[in-house]
Amino acid sequence: MSKLKLSTKLGYGCGDIFAGGAFLLVALLFLYFLVNIAGLDARLAGIVMLIGRFWDAVTDPFMGYLSDRTRSRFGRRRLYFLIGIVPVWISFALLWLPLSTNSQLLLFIYYTFAYLLFSTVFTLVQVPYTALLPELTADYKERASVSGIRLSFSAISAIIAGTVPTLIISRFTDEGNGHFAMGLIFGLLYALPWLFVFLFTKENPSQAIQSGNIHFFRDLLSTLRNKSFRQHAGLFIGSQTAVDFLTALAKFYVIYVLLREKEFVLIMAALLLVPVLMMPVWIQVAKKFEKTTPMHVGLLVWALALLASLFIEPGSAGPAIFVVAALSGIGTSASVFVPWSILPEVTDVDEAMCGFRREGVYGGLATFLRKLAGGLALMLVGFLLKAVGFAEQAAVQPESAISGIRLMFALVPTAAILIALIFSFRYKVNEKNHALLQQAVQSRRAGRPVSEPEQIQACELLSGQRFDTLWVGAKVNQSAAE
């Protein structure tokens, strides 16, 4: 299997500057902006996120379906990178536009609209982007390499998003105007890389869906038959909920529990720098062992660090909080690396089941799962803050809020981490099983029946279905796909 050019890997990888930075920024500052700057009730802010997730439940899978069936001279995926450049800039900036009104209804309507617009534009580019990776290469280890480069861009973008916005905002006497200026600057930063993704990637036209008898809702429901996808969804939602809950609550935790607002940027730098350093390590670990091994190691370290945070007091928070932040970075990097790294193999399992490629459908579902985790985390933070007595726009918080934030910071992400670990240990796609699956698919494509016991066992293990119900297991002369 020939290796991809470095220019292709870098061109593809820079597309995740948008997701890596924008998701971190939204998770880190948007709830704080809505509650403390815009003045929206914390419960209404949580509902804004919930509405966005219902919207994504339709738009993300539909975009995947549409991407699989798009025909243009630029290909199925790359067309959307070109279309999305300007909308990415505008939609991100509008999230941070401060309104001069005290009306909760008007605030709720506007920020719901802005959030839905941002989510839609994110879907427009991110779903085809995710679907493109399996088309770049079919090699198990090469995919790990591409994913590592992609997520290194994501981690670097996250560092910038976790540190620079606060510096920009602090230069304005009005925090609202500071947030909007930050939105304009970072919107442009997130828009420009899509031009490079468009220019430096190529698609595989041979993998375009040929059948016209497939339907949107049947496509979506059929993915649930894929055992590997179900395991992927569980570890993805669990790990990303932990990441987004932590980042959404981090500013509240540092300001109100640790009383170290001036050190917030440095603490975030410690949290976000470690993933950049860990990404090359995780790539090598994934190549030597299994792609889920980084999650097994990283999440256990992270859970222990979070539990240790229960014992950090404001007076002794100095070195301890930086250690917790750094160890958490080990876990968050694994949480980002593993789900995106294993997704291409999930689509390979699907091909063995149905006989054609549906990267777009799975890319749409993966994008939805990522946003679902973020929405659940932000909504949960909003409701829990209200439950523990947090007072919006108040300089001093009641003791119940301070204690509640401390417990939330440690226990809620830990629970989500445990869920992710359970699913990650159940995920069975490794290099050996993947190779056997691919051999079966190649035999079936060539019109030869699959009879090797190891190949049959691998197909059943990874799909969770009887072999004779799979496309690779059907008799050659009975297959409509032939």
- % of the chain at pLDDT higher than 90: 62
Is 60 exceeded by the pLDDT of residue 376? yes
Q: What is the pTM of this model?
A: 0.81
Sign of CA dihedral 450, 455, 460, 462: negative
φ, ψ of residue 427 in degrees (nearest 5): -75, 125
What's the start-to-end Cα distance of the chain, in Å?
26
- Model confidence pLDDT, tens digit, residues 245-260: 998 899 899 999 998 8
Is 50 exceeded by the pLDDT of residue 159? yes
Question: pLDDT class for 357, splitting at 50, 70, 90?
Answer: confident
Q: How large is the average pLDDT for residues 189-198? A: 97
Question: pLDDT class for 482, splitting at 50, 70, 90?
Answer: very low
- Model confidence pLDDT, tens digit, residues 108-120: 999 999 999 999 9
Closest listed residue to residue 126, CA positions, set 219, 50, 16, 49: 16
Residues in contact with 308: Cβ distance below 8 Å, sequence separation at least 6, in sequence order:
320, 324
Give the whole-angstrom CA distance, residue 269 versus residue 258. 17
Least confident of 62-76, 165-179, 290-304: 62-76
Helix 6-13 with 104-136: angle, nearest 10 deg: 160
Query: CA-based diameter of the chain, in Å?
Result: 75
In this prediction, residue 30 carries a pLDDT of: 92
| Residue of higher predicted confidence among 378 and 464 | 464
Q: How large is the average pLDDT for residues 13-41? A: 91
Strands (E), 286-378: none
SS3 state of residue 138: coil
- Check: CB of residue 230 under 8 Å from CB of residue 224: yes
Amino acid at 210: Q
Least confident of 82-86, 194-198, 217-221, 333-337: 217-221
Least confident of 199-208, 276-285, 443-452: 199-208
Sign of CA dihedral 110, 113, 116, 120: negative
For residue 410, CA distances in Å to 306, 308, 321, 362 come to 5, 8, 12, 32
- Model confidence pLDDT, tens digit, residues 341-351: 999 999 999 99
In this prediction, residue 319 carries a pLDDT of: 83
In this prediction, residue 478 carries a pLDDT of: 44
- Check: CB of residue 464 under 8 Å from CB of residue 437: no
Residues in contact with 424: Cβ distance below 8 Å, sequence separation at least 6, in sequence order:
231, 235, 292, 295, 296, 299, 338
- % of the chain at pLDDT higher than 70: 95
In this prediction, residue 477 carries a pLDDT of: 44
Closest listed residue to residue 392, CA positions, set 102, 41, 109: 41
- Check: CB of residue 186 under 8 Å from CB of residue 29: no
Other Cβ atoms less than 10 A from the Cβ of 305: the count is 20
Domains present along the chain, CATH in parentheses: 10-202+216-429 (1.20.1250.20), 437-473 (no CATH)
Closest listed residue to residue 324, CA positions, set 258, 390, 423, 237: 258
Structure tokens, 139: 């090699």
Question: pLDDT class for 481, splitting at 50, 70, 90?
Answer: very low
Helix, strand, coil fractions of the chain, as percent rounded to 5: 80, 0, 20
Q: Chain-wide mean pLDDT for the chain? A: 90
In this prediction, residue 317 carries a pLDDT of: 61
> The tokens 């719901």 sit on which residue?
112
Structure tokens, 271: 């949290």
In this prediction, residue 480 carries a pLDDT of: 40
Q: How large is the average pLDDT for residues 210-214? A: 48
Q: How large is the average pLDDT for residues 316-333? A: 87
